[in-house]
Structure 1
Amino acid sequence: MVGYLLAEHTLRPIRANMHAQTQFVSDASHELRTPLTALRTANEVALRNPKLTLAEARAIIEANVTDATRLQTLANTMLGLLRHDRSVAQLQPVALQTVVSEAMNLVVAPAQAKSIAIDDTTPPLMVRAHQQRLVQLLTILLDNAIKYSPEHTTITITAESTNRWARVQIIDQGIGMDAATQRQIFQRFYRADQARTGGLGQGYGLGLAIAQQIITEHGGKITVDSTPGSGTTFTVSLRLVGRQST
């Protein structure tokens, strides 16, 4: 009996890892199949058209390039998610203001394209983190806020320290989401319906899943609070370095 229990204890993480890899391959196959089928169909239709003009051919090629770029983005994102599954983040003291600043710099272009202002009031706090992964997490949340916010609105970044934890909030004035969406939004490959995306969503439902994975690596927590039509607030909780106050 003892031998059986020891063997079961040893095999459990192996089975979990195999299941995760099987699920990843299944999800990847599903997500890649649809855009590849659409790309192939468009080209086959064009090849069967004997009256295809140069302008029409150019338009098809441009659409193919766009689709190929999206597929490349999807593949890179999925590989990044797989790497997060397999790796362990090395945490060290990191200046929260520095991380927020780096993330903001990465979303300047999409924010300016929609005339969205980002108001940062982050105080000088030190957290235990992997700096680049934390930058990635905040970039995902900022990009998400920009994507679902109307033009000429403001995204606010705040932070405070409470009982050895830093709480970072990203608050937008966007379209918000209902309770059902909030319950599923961190699941891999989950994409909200048209009411949430407004027909604009071009993502593959991986960004927030990666954010969830990163915060799990940090031993922290990420939550969402939102009301349709009233904006969304994402709250990220990270361990402070020592005792700090804001």
Structure 2
Amino acid sequence: MQNIPKMFQSATLKLTIWYLAGIMLVCLVFSVLVYNFASGELYARFEVIEARLAQSTTVLAQSDFNFETVRDRQIAEAEHNIVGMLLYANLAVLAIASVASYILAKRTLRPIEAAHEAQTKFTSDASHELKTPLAVMKTELEVILSDSGATKQDYREILESNLEEVDRLSELSSTLLKLARLEYSELEWRKFNITETVDTAIRSLGERADRIDVEAVKKLPDIEANPTSITELAVVLLDNALKYSPSDTRVTVSLKRRVRSVELSVTNIGVGIAPDKLPHIFTRFYRASSSRTLEENASYGLGLPLAKKIVELHHGELTASSQPGVFTTFTVRIPLSQTRAL
């Protein structure tokens, strides 16, 4: 089986040939039409000249002028010149069309190639993230089973550790399924109040919700969106803000009316995000920490990409701003109407 780069290169060449074949077919048809039209025009003009000369019988009788010979020679030369010009024109078109067809083929396949590369990277990263907790669980179990002096408490600690890893794997698989559903499912839209949706998201956070302050203008207009997805979006942003801020600080949620949209912003106080890492935080499996070890607050780096995908499907905008050591703010703008956003 061909490797992927060679497969895309082969597909590019084949598509180039098809594009080029189509262009040259049109050029050949056009050339035949031009040749027939030019030849017909030549014959028509010579017939007019011959008719005029036939009226001048005195001139023709006093000379040895053979009109048919001259006509045939002139027509042959003209047709030869036409064929030559058409040949050079087609060669020029062939050269230009070859380059243009290759560029067009590359542009046509570029989104498919980019999607495949993204899928390959996603699969590789997902495999790595699955491999790490499984390796940890396997090592812990092997150690405890080989320890003949292990106590009941030792077994309990290993089981609790494995349970934590299972919970993390469950979280990972759940998020992956959500991303997959968003990729291939069509959302259903309906009108609802986003303030009530944010309240629902806050209540789902349990005791941690006590750290959240809500600032919302009165009488926010209803938005046309998917309530389940918007709730998930709010949960992701709030969970992220709570997770990466000290437990004695507050998280602020702001809801405002904008032109043809509603703005939701979530701000926390904490370590923040470095400027060089800010552009990458919506990339799947990206974590601001360069370490891939599982820390207490570590995540798989799928929450923000999930939020980004939800916002994109709602034709909205998700941005992040941060001042390291001071604050981090995520701002979402959702159009009031999905029909107008299209």
The TM-score bracket by the shorter chain reads 0.7 to 0.9
Q: Which residue matches 2:189?
A: 91
Shift in alpha-carbon separation, 1:7–1:88, aligned structure 2, 3 A: farther
Q: Which residue matches 1:212?
A: 308
Q: Which residue matches 2:38?
A: none
Offset of 1:62 from its aligned partner?
Answer: 1.6
- Equivalent residue in structure 1 for 2:198, among 89, 93, 100: 100
Q: Which runs of 5+ in 2 are unaligned?
A: 1-18, 24-100
Offset of 1:152 from its aligned partner?
Answer: 3.0
- Equivalent residue in structure 1 for 2:163, among 65, 74, 84: 65
Q: Give the alignment's TM-score, normalised by structure 2.
A: 0.62
Instruction: Calculate the aligned-residue CA RMSD, in Å.
Output: 2.8
Q: Which residue matches 2:96?
A: none
Q: Which residue matches 1:75?
A: 173
Q: Report Cα offsets for 1:63-111 as digits up to 9, x if no partner.
A: 1112111111111111211221122223332211121111111123233
2:213 is aligned with 1:118: yes
8 A Cα contact 2:285 2:301, kept in partner: yes
Shift in alpha-carbon separation, 1:176–1:8, aligned structure 2, 3 A: closer
| AA of the residue aligned to 2:296 | L
8 A Cα contact 2:212 2:253, kept in partner: no
8 A Cα contact 1:222 1:236, kept in partner: yes
Shift in alpha-carbon separation, 1:108–1:75, aligned structure 2, 3 A: same
Write out aligned runs for 1:63-212 (5 A): 63-112=161-210, 116-123=211-218, 124-193=220-289, 200-212=296-308
Instruction: State the distance in 2 between where 1:9 and 1:220 align.
Output: 27
Instruction: State the distance in 1 between where 2:176 and 2:329 align.
Output: 26
Which SS does the other structure have where 2:132 is aligned? helix
8 A Cα contact 2:195 2:216, kept in partner: no
Shift in alpha-carbon separation, 1:152–1:119, aligned structure 2, 3 A: farther
8 A Cα contact 1:170 1:233, kept in partner: yes
Instruction: State the distance in 2 between where 1:86 and 1:13 align.
Output: 17
Which SS does the other structure have where 2:263 is aligned? strand
Offset of 1:129 from its aligned partner?
Answer: 1.1
Structure having the larger proportion of residues in helix: 2
Offset of 1:34 from its aligned partner?
Answer: 1.0
2:124 is aligned with 1:30: no
Which SS does the other structure have where 2:180 is aligned? helix
| AA of the residue aligned to 2:159 | I
Does 1 or 2 have the higher relative contact order (CA < 8 Å, sep 6+)? 1
Percent of aligned positions with the same letter in both sequences?
36
Equivalences, count: 237
Q: Report Cα offsets for 1:188-224 as digits up to 9, x if no partner.
A: 00112289xxx53231110001000000000011001
Structure 1 outlier segments of 4+, above 3 Å: 2-24
Instruction: State the distance in 2 between where 1:122 and 1:22 align.
Output: 44
Shift in alpha-carbon separation, 1:145–1:221, aligned structure 2, 3 A: same
Write out aligned runs for 1:46-61 (5 A): 46-61=144-159
| Mean CA deviation greater in 10-19 or 161-170 | 10-19
2:139 is aligned with 1:41: yes
8 A Cα contact 2:255 2:265, kept in partner: yes
8 A Cα contact 1:96 1:122, kept in partner: no
8 A Cα contact 1:168 1:236, kept in partner: yes
8 A Cα contact 2:203 2:209, kept in partner: no
Structure having the larger proportion of residues in strand: 1
8 A Cα contact 1:166 1:237, kept in partner: yes
Instruction: State the distance in 2 between where 1:48 and 1:79 align.
Output: 37
| Mean CA deviation greater in 12-21 or 231-240 | 12-21
8 A Cα contact 2:187 2:226, kept in partner: yes
Q: Which runs of 5+ in 1 are unaligned?
A: none
